[in-house]
Amino acid sequence: MACSINRPLFLHKILFFTFYGALGSIMAFLTIHMRTLGLDLAEITWINSILPLTSLAGPPIVGLLADRLGNYRVITIVFMALGAIMHTALLFVPPYEVTPVEPVLTLTCDADGAALVLDSCGQACPDLNRSHSSSIGGCEQVCLMSLEHNSTELLEVRAQPSAEPAYFCLTRPGGDKEYIACNESKTHLEFSRPLVTPQYHGGEEGAMCHYPQHEFNTSEGLFVSLTCRTSAPNCRVVCDASEMIEGNSLLQEPMCSVVKGNRTMTLWLYFGVRALAEMFTAILVSLLEAVALTMVHQHNGDYGREKMCGIVAVGVFSPLCGYLMDTHIGTFGVYNYAPVFYVFDGLLMITAIVTLFLPFEVEVTRKSLWKSIGSLIKTSELNILLLLMTLLGTFWGYLKTFVYVYLEDLHASKLLMGLTVTISIVPSLPFLYKSSAVVQFCGHHYLIMLAFVAYCIRFAGFSYITNPWWALLLESLELFTLNLMNVSAATLAYKLAPKTFVATAQALVWVSHFNIGRCLGTFVGGYLITQYGQVYVFQGAAVAAAIIAALYLCIHQLVKHVKANGKPLPKPQPIRENGLF
């Protein structure tokens, strides 16, 4: 028998490859992109918790509109354009940067004495009643001078080279004095002495910490005071000082920082743009899933094989983008994540072109809209499915929000983060290729149970790894936690929903898993991390997944037993499934 190509579905496979390739190129890096913008873990948690809520209404409403009008093509292309614009706008959100810097430490000396001066940047001065060693160098003489003739405003300027040189005057306990010339390039003194309680000079914002130098040791012995003889009474000597200690710095801890940008503006601007981008993505997924299921039904195809093309694309483009960022290909200025958005926009453009030529027809509902919605909501089997998707989405949301932060803390490269997506794809390919047979043999519900078991293993594994490369093995379990589970849930929703509400049913499944569940997982997970840390939360999630899987199995078996003993046996069917429905 000659090998034939199902041309309508071949074109759809290209569409799924480019669309899910676009999503795969960007989704793995959005959380760590927020870190580069200066957002902390609490802000990242808040954004990822609220974002799913902003997309709750979009997919069902647009799905109802598409089901009502039957014009999927135009609606899909419009939202592709909007999604590309909003995601690209994330690249240009201004960052908020706080860079820690060491405060400036100097030695100032005049006829009244000498003191170490520390710029505290408005914070409390370190109160150190302990021995401290430092060296000075780069000394210069500065003098107060008026800006203009007869002006009362004084400015401290560097003394003229022709001015009389200044001298350090070191006094020994017996009163003997030693003089050392203050030469800018050659003067070098080493001090070791206890630091007394600091004195504050200047206003609150410009407060300087002064540590008077009374008794100190040098290589020449013990001295009781340090003064300076300058060229004029209005002059003093200022030297650069540096600590001479091993280990932690006593004075020059990074208490100062350089701030760039506005934290509030960055947070809210990013949130607003990202909320629109997420909503458009959710709408696109629900529309394209409805198109896929409709075309598979019309052209006698296999939904898993269509899905496999999208999964392969995710596995290809995610590590590709990670490699481009690690090697700085296509980056410019501070935009280290630019390659991700290049790939995303390019693939989404190809998807829009393919959509124009995609041959498919949808059935338009002629019934009352609200009556159809009511009958859809009252379907008990669909409600059970939505509850299960919400629970699975909670686990998925927690993992996808925090696992890359966890791997980054384990010093994983961007390439490794991209490979975690690829390795989650490879084991799925043969199962997706034969997904119809797998779902028929195992049943929808047993596949969903298996997803909970796989989550238990993944969470437990992440709580024990110390080498980020072990994450590749754990991510291979996404075969069960996402890929086969998605096929099972999507095909089950297609069976349960009226054929005039395919897009609406797929939107509800998407919202339950990727919006409501993700919101719960991110919010609860972020709170628990701040209280107990990542490791303990991973272990707790593993226990929760195991308990849910066990309860699910018991209830499922009980319902099957009640059905088998409460009703007459049905007539033999050509195809039997091990599911509940």
DSSP letter for each residue of 344-355: HHHHHHHHHHHH
pLDDT bin (cut points 50, 70, 90) of residue 174 is: confident
With a cut of 80, say whether residue 327 has pLDDT above it. Answer: no
CB 397 within 8 A of CB 46: no
Range among 148-152, 273-277, 489-493, 512-516 with highest mean pLDDT value = 273-277
* Confidence bin at 150 (pLDDT 50/70/90): low
| Strand 221-223 versus strand 225-229 pairing type | unpaired
Q: What is the pLDDT of residue 272?
A: 92
pLDDT of residue 153: 65
pLDDT at 129: 60
19-58 residue pLDDT tens: 988 888 888 788 888 888 888 878 887 887 788 777 777 7
Residue 533 in tokens = 């840390």
Q: Which two tokens stand for residue 181?
A: 């010339």
Whole-structure pTM value: 0.62
pLDDT the model gives residue 453: 94
Q: How large is the greatest C-alpha to C-alpha distance in the chain, in angstroms?
A: 116
Please check whether residue 195 is in contact with residue 210, taking contact to mean a CB–CB distance below 8 angstroms.
no
Q: What is the tens place of the pLDDT at every residue in 6-21?
A: 676 888 888 889 998 8
Query: For residue 189, is pLDDT > 80?
Result: no
Report pLDDT for 252: 57
Contact assessment for residue 431 and residue 479, using Cβ atoms and an 8 Å cutoff: yes
Rounded mean pLDDT of 546-561?
87
Question: Could you tell me the residue ranges of all domains in the chain?
Answer: 7-96+261-566, 101-259
CA dist., res. 102 & res. 255, Å (int): 7
Q: Over 80: is that where the pLDDT of 372 sits?
A: no
CA 392 and chain centroid, separation: 21
Pairwise CA distance, residues 455 & 552, whole Å: 14
Question: How far, in Å, CA of 569 to CA of 533, rounded?
Answer: 52
181-195, 466-480, 505-519, 524-538: least confidently modelled range: 181-195
How far apart CA 286 and CA 512 sit, in angstroms, is 12
Rounded to an integer, what distance in angstroms lies between the CA atom of residue 437 and that of residue 425? 19
Pick the closest to residue 470 from 543, 416, 427 (CA basis): 416
User: Distance between CA atoms of 65 and 43, rounded to whole angstroms?
Assistant: 35
Res 575: pLDDT:
45
- CB-CB contact of 240 with 135 (8 Å): no
Of the segments 224-233, 330-339, 375-384, which one has the largest average pLDDT value? 224-233
Question: Looking at domain 7-96+261-566, what is its CATH homologous superfamily?
Answer: MFS general substrate transporter like domains (1.20.1250.20)
Q: What is the C-alpha separation between 497 and 555, in angstroms, rounded?
A: 23
What's the pLDDT at 370?
Answer: 52
- The Cα–Cα gap between 520 and 48 comes to 10
Tokens 């899909």: give the residue.
76
Rounded to whole angstroms, the Cα distance separating 140 from 137 reads 9
pLDDT reading at 148 higher than 60: yes
- With contact defined as beta carbons under 8 Å apart, do 479 and 422 qualify? no
Q: Is-contact 39 520, C-beta < 8 A?
A: no
pLDDT confidence of residue 500: 65
Helix (H) or strand (E) holding 241: strand 235-243
Strand-pairing partners, residue 167, are 181, 229
| Residue 372: C-alpha distances to residues 67, 366, 499 (Å) | 11, 10, 11
The token pair at 412 is 């994983």
Q: Is 180 left (phi over 0), alpha (psi -120 to 50) or beta?
A: beta
Residue 70: per-residue pLDDT: 64
pLDDT value at position 423?
A: 80
Looking at the chain, the whole-number percentage of residues with pLDDT higher than 70 is 79
Mean pLDDT of 482-502: 77
With CA atoms as reference, report the closest residue to 541 among 516, 524, 519: 524
Dist CA 43 CA 49 (whole Å) = 10
**How many angstroms separate the CA atoms of 237 and 243, rounded?**
19
**Chain mean pLDDT for the chain:** 78
Give the list of residues 6+ apart from residue 218 with CB closer than 8 angstroms, or none: 170, 189, 190, 191, 192
Residue 579's pLDDT is what? Answer: 44
- The first and second tokens of residue 117, run together, are 């001066």
Look up residue 246 and give its two tokens: 């091993």
Q: Which residue has the tokens 């009643």?
A: 129
* Least reliable range by pLDDT among 65-79, 134-148, 364-378: 364-378
**Neighbouring residues of 367: CB distance < 8 A, sequence distance ≥ 6:** 500
* DSSP letters for 412-431: --HHHHHHHHHHHHTTHHHH
Instruction: Render pLDDT for 75-124 as a digit per residue (tens, 0 to 9).
Output: 888 889 999 999 989 988 888 887 777 778 888 888 888 888 887 776 77
Q: With the C-alpha atoms ordered 127, 257, 42, 29, is the resulting torsion angle positive or negative?
A: negative
Is a pLDDT exceeding 70 seen at residue 326?
yes
Rounded to an integer, what distance in angstroms lies between the CA atom of residue 137 and that of residue 222?
20
Mean pLDDT of 349-373: 68
pLDDT band at 401 (very low <50, low <70, confident <90, very high): confident
Q: Which residues pair with 257 in a beta bridge?
A: 100
Distance CA 307, CA 484 (A): 10
Q: Where does the pLDDT of residue 202 fall: very low under 50, low under 70, confident under 90, or very high at 90 and above?
A: low
Closest CA to 158 of 146, 144, 147, 169: 144
**Pairing state between β 131-146 and 235-243:** antiparallel
Given this model, what pLDDT does residue 395 score?
93
Higher pLDDT, 308 or 570: 308
CB neighbour list of residue 540: distance below 8 Å, 6 or more residues apart? 528, 532
Residues in CB range of 217: below 8 A, 6 or more apart: 191, 192, 193, 223
Instruction: Tell me what pLDDT residue 67 has.
Output: 65
**CA–CA dist 147, 145 (Å, integer):** 6
Residue type, 492: L
Residue 292: pLDDT over 90: no
What would the mean pLDDT of 186-196 be, rounded to a whole number? 59
- How much is the pLDDT for 580? 41
Taking each helix axis from N to C end, the angle separating 435-442 and 303-326, rounded to the nearest 10 degrees, works out to 120
Which residue, 478, 24, 57, 16, is CA-closest to 293?
Answer: 16
Q: What is the pLDDT of residues 215-263, one digit of tens each?
A: 777 777 788 888 888 878 888 888 888 776 654 565 656 667 777 888 8
Question: Which residues lie across from 239 on neighbouring strands?
Answer: 107
